[in-house]
Amino acid sequence: MSTCLYCTTEANSLEHPLPAAFGEFTNAPMLDRRVCAGCNTRRLSLLDQQIARCGPEGLMRKFYGVQGRPENAKVNPFVRGSAGGRRLEFSTFDREVGVEVNLEIENGVVRQMCELIFVETESGRTCHLPLTEGMTAEQARASMKRLGITEPFETRLSCYPDERDWVEALVRAVSPEVTFSEPKLMSYVIEQPQATFVLGERYFRAFAKIGFHYFLTQFPMYTGREEMFAKIRAFIYEDTTEPVRRINEFIGMRQHPLLLPMLNPDARPNGWRGHVLAAETRPGVCMAHIQMFLTEENPGLIYTVNLAQDSGITGHEAFAHLYRYYPDGKRGKFSGETESLPAMRVGMTFPPAAPAVAAR
């Protein structure tokens, strides 16, 4: 019996190193019987939710219309956060109404969100309450309380004509004395939108999990239960009260490109988009590299995960895979295909990975 990497239960699941929330890919490396179903679908799933919904990758998923498994719950990351992470904040200043409005993206289309906008009279601070069909008056009141709005304030409504009936019914249930004037249409002109991400430790632990599990698929001589991997296993599995120190201990930013054509700083993918996972051993160290949503428009940050240090590691070996999306959308259950990339040793003269998070 194989034991789970993170608990004492039998390892009985098939794990996608690249979370299935980013789609399934043909010929993708899989981690077989190293993690139990309980850890895979509960504790580790929280990490997948953060990276897929709460960070830049969540915004890119919505922009490109990337779908996860159809049986998973559909969550609008612009409305609410996941797994303890904050919702995506995507906004612009609407000159027509003189107030900041929230935006959302669906399959590459940007639109204003259905929301209540509160503007504090004295401070001018703007607070936003996204509205969803099916929301109850109790849920809306609780959300308003969490915003901590200071009276007096002005309330504005942003919605589309087809949403107006259920929105007005909800608002009247929250505040029966409310009156509605003839709505002044928003300009619907998106100028210089700004995205704000609040990244929790689970977001960075998700990169550690991706890197560790991919590494194990490429270096089968390791089970992952070796003592030298004890610290990375604990980092992935355990919540912590000192996240900055621990994140910087395991996660860094790589400046050197993973793909050879990208050595030319002007090079970009010619219309395709995808993800790159890489793993390597160097004398005394094991590490992995993750580059998400490399596209023609987006060069993509590269995270380096320090997996283990051991003086017994003497050789240098590297593997990498490109997860490339189909240009015409999903084909059956697959979003794209995976191809193995030839690994070339690069000189060791470039700067080491910088910390991913700076202590404040």
**102 and 187 in a common domain:** yes
Say if residue 305's pLDDT is above 80.
yes
Q: How confident is the model at residue 269 (pLDDT cuts 50, 70, 90)?
A: confident
Residue that terminates a domain, selected from 132, 165, 196 = 196
Higher pLDDT, 358 or 123: 123
Peptide bond into 152 cis (omega under 30): yes
Task: Please report whether residue 222 resides in a domain.
Answer: yes
**211 and 190 in a common domain:** no
Say if residue 53's pLDDT is above 50.
yes
Q: Which of 219, 207, 194, 345 is nearest to 289 (CA)?
A: 207
Q: How confident is the model at residue 359 (pLDDT cuts 50, 70, 90)?
A: very low
Task: Please report whether residue 109 resides in a domain.
Answer: yes
Q: How confident is the model at residue 106 (pLDDT cuts 50, 70, 90)?
A: confident
Task: Please report whether residue 15 resides in a domain.
Answer: no
**184 and 203 in a common domain:** no
Question: For residue 286, what are the domain limits?
Answer: 199-347
Task: Please report whether residue 8 resides in a domain.
Answer: no
**311 and 205 in a common domain:** yes
Across the chain, mean pLDDT equals 87
**235 and 144 in a common domain:** no
Task: Please report whether residue 70 resides in a domain.
Answer: no
Task: Please report whether residue 81 resides in a domain.
Answer: no
Give the DSSP letter of residue 351: P
- What does pTM read for this prediction? 0.89
**133 and 159 in a common domain:** yes
CA distance 51 to 66: 14
pLDDT at 218: 97
CA distance 56 to 88: 9
pLDDT at 238: 93
- The domain total for the chain is 2
**293 and 268 in a common domain:** yes
The 10s digit of each residue's pLDDT in 72-103 is 668 889 988 899 889 999 998 887 777 888 99
**237 and 177 in a common domain:** no
Residue that terminates a domain, selected from 181, 196, 211 = 196
CA distance 317 to 29: 17
**157 and 241 in a common domain:** no
pLDDT at 1: 63
Sheet holding 336-341, edge to edge: 25-26, 336-341, 317-325, 274-282, 285-294, 302-309, 251-253, 354-355
Residue that terminates a domain, selected from 180, 196, 212 = 196
**319 and 218 in a common domain:** yes
Task: Please report whether residue 324 resides in a domain.
Answer: yes
Task: Please report whether residue 206 resides in a domain.
Answer: yes
Are residues 358 and 247 in contact, defined by beta-carbon separation less than 8 angstroms?
no
Give the mean model confidence (pLDDT) for residues 268-294.
94
pLDDT at 356: 58
The 10s digit of each residue's pLDDT in 153-188 is 888 888 888 888 899 899 989 888 877 666 555 555
Given the structure tokens 């995205």, which residue do they identify? 195
**142 and 277 in a common domain:** no
**340 and 231 in a common domain:** yes
Which phi and psi (to 5°) does residue 333 adopt?
-90, -5
